[in-house]
Amino acid sequence: MEMQSRRSVLKDAIRAAAAAFGGIMVAGKASAQTAGRLEKRNPNAKPAGPKPATPPIYTDVVAYGNLLFVAGKSQHLEGTIEEHTKFVLDTMEKNLIASGSSMRKVLKVNVYLKNIESDIEKMNSVYRQRDWGDMPPARTTTSTAGGLPSPAALVMMDCIAYV
């Protein structure tokens, strides 16, 4: 059941993206309901606190229709790759839950490691412990040539999920 719903959401997303970028339809026509859902960017976004003196450079979570785009999460304190991975996944999960989703509804994860050779297996051991449902999301894992935003960060992850 979970796999079918992920596939259905992914098909809707592909159709909507094709419609948005040039009107090309993939595997049929996007429904009017899907097209209507995708007209609003950040429909549930509410500014938190006073307006900042300078505009922010990114948003933690952007909703587009029934899709959620979660910005990169990383740990900026000293620690092991396992501790960093747990922190990043916990933070990502909190963002998803606050947006009406869950780890079981994640479609795609990007993982950026400071040192892929020494850390991938340790990161994977923590990653595997998450409840991704019947089918884990698609994933890309890479090492960053220029490092991560913080010198202490060992891993960064972002994801796409649905509500």
Which CATH number covers residue 57?
A: 3.30.1330.40
31 plus 53 within the same structural domain = no
**What confidence score (pLDDT) does residue 52 get?**
79
64 plus 121 within the same structural domain = yes
111 plus 122 within the same structural domain = yes
Residue 112 has φ and ψ, to the nearest 5°, of -120, 120
Closest CA to 136 of 121, 150, 124: 124
10 plus 58 within the same structural domain = no
Asked if residue 144 lies in contact with residue 155, where contact means CB atoms within 8 angstroms, the answer is no
Number of structural domains the chain divides into: 2
73 plus 137 within the same structural domain = yes
**pTM of the full structure:** 0.71
**What confidence score (pLDDT) does residue 51 get?**
80
126 plus 62 within the same structural domain = yes
Asked if residue 39 lies in contact with residue 27, where contact means CB atoms within 8 angstroms, the answer is no
Domain around 25: 1-39
81 plus 158 within the same structural domain = yes
pLDDT in tens, the chain (163 residues): 555 576 677 667 666 555 544 433 333 333 334 333 433 455 455 555 778 788 888 899 999 999 999 999 999 999 999 999 999 999 999 999 999 999 999 999 999 999 999 999 999 999 999 999 999 999 999 999 888 988 899 999 999 999 9
